[in-house]
Amino acid sequence: MVACRDDNCHHLEGSKRCARRAAFLRSLLEEIGLGGDRLMLFHLPGTAAEDMALGSGRTVEALAAADSNAQAAAIRDLVVRALVDLPPSPLHKAPVAGADDNAPQEVEFGNDDNEQ
């Protein structure tokens, strides 16, 4: 998940709400056995301060594109590193030899009440 920094979000509580939701989702992931570390939350600078300044006619120093790209690249690197370190998902367990619990079951549909 990516959210604005707390001090630069268009929504008064947007970043804080995002953090609470991320914590809740992590607890759900832990509860079902997937591990809360599979959900990551990152903060990037928003544009609320710049937008407010521009709206009031003041000039602001905009975040340079190079800085934005560097921050996005740093997040990408962290995510890639985390993916490499994560254990395989328990949802993708190797099947046991000879057992196919996930195979579709055949079900007969008929009107047995009319048979003699």
Query: Whole-model pTM?
Result: 0.59
Residue 46 to residue 62: CA distance in whole angstroms: 11
Q: List residues bridging with 44 in a β-sheet.
A: 4
Amino acid at 18: C
Both tokens of 18, joined, read 């995002």
DSSP state of 32: T
Average pLDDT, the chain: 77
pLDDT digits (tens, 9 = 90+) for 20-51: 999 999 999 999 988 898 999 988 876 666 66
How far from 64 is each of 21, 47, 69, 71, CA to CA, in Å?
Answer: 30, 12, 9, 11
**Number of neighbours of residue 4 by Cβ within 10 angstroms:** 18
